Amino acid sequence: MLARVLVLNLVVAAAKLVLGYSTGAVSIVSDGFHSLTDSASNIIGLVGLRAARKPPDADHPYGHRKFETLAAGAIFIFLVFAVIEIGRAALKRLAAPAPPEISWISFTVLIATLLVNIWVVRYEGGRGRALRSELLLADAVHTRSDVFATIGVLVSLVAVALGYPLLDPIGGVAIAVLIARTSLEIARDTSGILADRVVIDEDDIRGVVMGVPEVLGCHHIRTRGSLDHVFLDLHVWFPESMPLRQAHSLSHDVKDRLMARFPQIADAIIHIEPPPQRESLIPDR
C-alpha cells in the first residue's frame, strides 16, 4: 500500500518542482518540497512497518510496534526541514519580489496533482482507520496538508495572474505555517505513545470488569501503547474467602471480557487481591 502511495507522491513532487523552478513561482516550489517530504515519509513508513511486524523476542518481549511510532515521529523531523526550506525561500522572495511566469500549463499540472493527492488521502486515511495504524493516519494527515497547500498555491497563482505578484511568496509562507501545524499534530500523537499516555478510558474498563459476578472492585487501571496495540494491567478485588483457584478462573473471565470489548488489547495483566481493609469498595482512581 505504502509503495503505491510512494510512487504517486514522487510523481506529484517531481511535477511540482519542475513546474516551480521553470516558472520561478516560490509557492509552487514550496508545494513541491512539501510533496517531497510525503515521499520521504513513505520510505520511512515502509521501513517502520517492516520492523513493527517482527514478533516479540528475548530483547523485545513487548514486540517491536514502537518502531512504527518512531517512524511516524521521523515524519515530524522531515516536516521541520520542509518548513525551514520553504520559509527561507519565501522570505527571500518577499525581500525582492519578482512575478513568476504563469500559464494554463501551471494550472493544469497543479489541478492534476491536487486530484491525485485527494485520492491518496481518502485511500490512506481509510486504510489507516481500518487497520488502526498511527503511521498510516499520520501519513494521511501529512498528505491532507498537501491538498490544502496546493489549493492555496492555486489561489496565489490566480492572484499573480491578476497582477499581485507579492502573493506568490506570501503563499509560500502560508504553506510553511500549514506544514508547521501538521508537524505539531504528528509530534503530539507520537510523543503520547512514547510517553505511555492513557489509551483506553479507565471508566470504560471498570464498567466491563464490574460486570463479572463476584468481582468487588478494581483499581490501578493502566493502559499504554498505540491505538491498535494496547497493553493493560489492573488490580481486581475478590472476596477474601474465595479460593485462589476460583479467583484465578474468574480473572480469566475478566480478561476474556475485556479483550472481547476492546479487541485492540494485545495483552492484559490482572492482579488478584482482596478488597482494601480500611477503604470502601468504591474503586479509587
- 184 and 230: one domain? no
Clarify whether residues 161 and 249 are in a common domain.
no
Select from 170, 194, 218 the last residue of a domain.
194
The arithmetic mean of pLDDT across residues 51-64, rounded, is 76
Residue that terminates a domain, selected from 163, 194, 225: 194
Question: Is 279 contained in some domain?
Answer: no
Q: How confident is the model at residue 107 (pLDDT cuts 50, 70, 90)?
A: confident
Res. 235 pLDDT band, cuts 50 70 90: very high
Q: Looking at residue 224, what is its pLDDT?
A: 92
Burial class, 132, CB count within 10 angstroms (exposed 0-12 / middle 13-18 / buried 19+): middle
CA distance 23 to 99: 9
CATH of the domain at 57: 1.20.1510.10
pTM above 0.75, yes or no: no
Please tell me whether residues 159 and 245 are part of one structural domain. Answer: no
Does residue 40 form part of some domain?
yes
Whether the pLDDT of residue 141 is over 80: the answer is no
Residues 102 and 154 grouped into a single domain: yes
The pLDDT of residue 89 is above 50:
yes
Q: CB-based burial of residue 243 (10 Å sphere; 0-12 exposed, 13-18 middle, 19+ buried)?
A: exposed
The verdict on 158 and 188 lying in the same domain is: yes
Domain span holding position 228:
202-273
Q: Is the pLDDT of residue 284 over 60?
A: no
Residues 238 and 110 in one domain: no
31 within some domain: yes
In this structure, is residue 278 part of a structural domain?
no
Q: In the listed set 194, 217, 234, which residue is the last one of a domain according to the structure?
A: 194
**265 and 135 housed in the same domain:** no
Instruction: Report residue 224: phi and psi, to 5°.
Output: -155, 165
Task: Provide the pLDDT for residue 281.
Answer: 47
User: Within 13 A of 285's CA, how many CA atoms are on the CB side?
Assistant: 4
CATH code at position 224: 3.30.70.1350
Residue 282: inside a domain: no
User: At residue 136, does pLDDT exceed 90?
Assistant: no
Q: What pairs with residue 254 in β-bridges?
A: none
Within this chain, do residues 184 and 231 fall inside the same structural domain, yes or no? no
> 130 or 208: which carries more pLDDT confidence?
208
Compute the distance between CA of residue 166 and CA of residue 19 in angstroms, rounded to an integer. 19
Q: Indicate the number of domains in the chain.
A: 2
200 has a pLDDT exceeding 90 = yes
- Asked whether residue 72 falls in the same domain as residue 209, the answer is no
Residue 284 lies in a domain: no
pLDDT computed for residue 205 by the predictor: 95
Identify the pLDDT of residue 207: 93
Among the residue ranges 48-57, 145-154, 169-178, the one predicted with the least confidence is 48-57
* 241 compared with 148, residue with greater pLDDT: 241
Residue 281 lies in a domain: no
Predicted confidence (pLDDT) per residue in 242-251, tens digit: 999 999 999 9
Q: How many CB atoms lie within 10 A of CB 91?
A: 14
Residue 50 sits at the vertex; the CA angle it makes with 124 and 129, to the nearest 5 degrees, is 25
**Range in 146-160, 186-200, 234-248 with the lowest mean pLDDT:** 146-160
Q: Say if residue 283's pLDDT is above 90.
A: no
